[in-house]
Amino acid sequence: MSLQEQHKRLVSSLYRQSLRLTKSWINRRDLWRAKALEIRAQFDENKDVTDKYRIDFLVKQTESLLEKYKHPDPIIPPQRPDGTKFERNIPTSPLVFKYRDGDASL
């Protein structure tokens, strides 16, 4: 994988993290959309930067901002680990029923 492609993936990841982070702070879709457009404008503002040191600075700055504004109780999609529905209705092992009925010989 080329260095340019790695950089593209890193920037895309930072962009997606920024959007997910704002979803945790803003629960109204119309307000979130306005903030998402603002974030997109900030990323587009620097898309033509070619200086390696400036790029490194911008990436580190973005990572530090993500850490600074990290939500203490982020919104997690329901089916993801630690989400509200994650493993909610897992099938119970037959061994549990045997033990519960008094048959301790497993």
Total number of domains in the chain = 1
How many angstroms separate the first and last alpha carbons of the chain?
Answer: 53
Rounded Cα–Cα distance for residues 86 and 74 (Å): 15
Q: Considering the domain boundaries, does residue 96 fall inside one?
A: no
Q: Do residues 84 and 78 touch, judged by C-beta distance below 8 A?
A: yes
pLDDT at res. 80:
77
Tokens 């959007």 belong to which residue? 19
Q: Considering the domain boundaries, does residue 13 fall inside one?
A: yes
Q: What pTM was computed for the model?
A: 0.71
Contacts of 68 (CB under 8 A, 6+ apart): none
Q: Considering the domain boundaries, does residue 82 fall inside one?
A: no
Alpha helices in the chain (DSSP H): 3-25, 29-45, 52-68, 94-100
Of 55, 52, 59, nearest in space to 18 by CA:
59
Tokens 């997606």 belong to which residue? 16
Q: Considering the domain boundaries, does residue 94 fall inside one?
A: no
Of 56, 59, 62, 60, nearest in space to 39 by CA:
62
Q: Which domain holds residue 55?
A: 3-75
37-59 mean pLDDT: 92
Q: Is residue 105 over pLDDT 60?
A: no
Q: In this predicted model, what pLDDT tens digit does every residue of 64-84 receive, in sequence order? A: 999 999 988 887 777 777 776
